């Protein structure tokens, strides 16, 4: 069934994207319960997948996110995956921030997340303004503000005293300001830093 296959693909993609965002050097529950330090490395560790068939490999890699606690005996895609305007995912069904991000991805922080299996490792799937608008209208009765960022960007360029931080291991860094715009609009790149790592509390690691 095409719907179930679609859900399987999104369920798997959500896991890979989330461990990439939460690729912190220490264990943290912000992005998922029980995630270890360097969860992306744990998901892709070759020695964990020797002699596995492709689907078994996929199940184990994705399971490193959805079963990071080691307490899940059997995966339930409908129970674990959360539908979202952001097709890269809104965390798991247990993520407290999931629904709020879904609304935000329907309002102002909107972007296309299509895949083509050429520039990425996921099956081809179209997700642009048409698909996004349909989802947001049906789910939240919201019309995405597709061009909202344009006026915001113009305002930023005419501002001062702003520091833009970018973790170089954050999958979203390409959407950040990677070059200083002026002497008072400064871009800082943080090596080996994941998503929002600069906002995390202090930690020995």
**Count of beta carbons in the 10 Å neighbourhood of residue 135:** 20
Residue 192 has pLDDT above 80, yes or no: yes
In this prediction, residue 58 has a pLDDT band, given cuts at 50, 70 and 90, of confident
Euclidean distance between CA atoms 107 and 33, whole angstroms: 28
Q: Is 92 exposed, middle or buried (0-12, 13-18, 19+ CB in 10 A)?
A: buried
Euclidean distance between CA atoms 86 and 131, whole angstroms: 11
Euclidean distance between CA atoms 150 and 156, whole angstroms: 10
Helical axes 2-21 vs 54-66, angle rounded to 10°: 60
Q: What is the pLDDT of residues 65-83, one digit of tens each?
A: 999 999 998 888 888 888 8
């Amino acid at each position: 069934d095409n719907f179930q296959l679609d859900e399987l693909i999104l369920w798997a993609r959500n896991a890979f994207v989330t461990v990439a965002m939460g690729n912190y050097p220490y264990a943290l529950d912000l992005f998922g319960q029980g995630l270890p330090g360097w969860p992306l490395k744990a998901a892709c560790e070759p020695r964990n997948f020797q002699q596995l068939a492709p689907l078994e490999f996929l199940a184990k890699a994705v399971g490193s996110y959805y079963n990071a606690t080691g307490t899940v005996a059997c995966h339930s895609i409908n129970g674990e995956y959360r539908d979202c305007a952001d097709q890269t995912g809104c965390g798991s069904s247990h993520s407290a921030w999931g629904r709020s991000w879904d609304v935000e991805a329907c309002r102002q922080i909107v972007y296309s997340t299509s895949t083509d299996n050429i520039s990425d490792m996921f099956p081809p799937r179209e997700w642009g303004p048409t698909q996004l608008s349909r989802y947001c209208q049906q789910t939240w009765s919201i019309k995405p503000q597709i061009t909202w960022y344009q006026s915001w960007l113009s305002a930023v360029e005419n501002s001062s005293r702003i520091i833009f931080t970018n973790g170089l291991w954050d999958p979203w860094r390409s959407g950040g300001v990677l070059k200083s715009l002026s002497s008072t609009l400064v871009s800082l790149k943080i090596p080996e830093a994941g998503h929002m790592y600069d906002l995390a509390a202090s930690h020995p690691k």
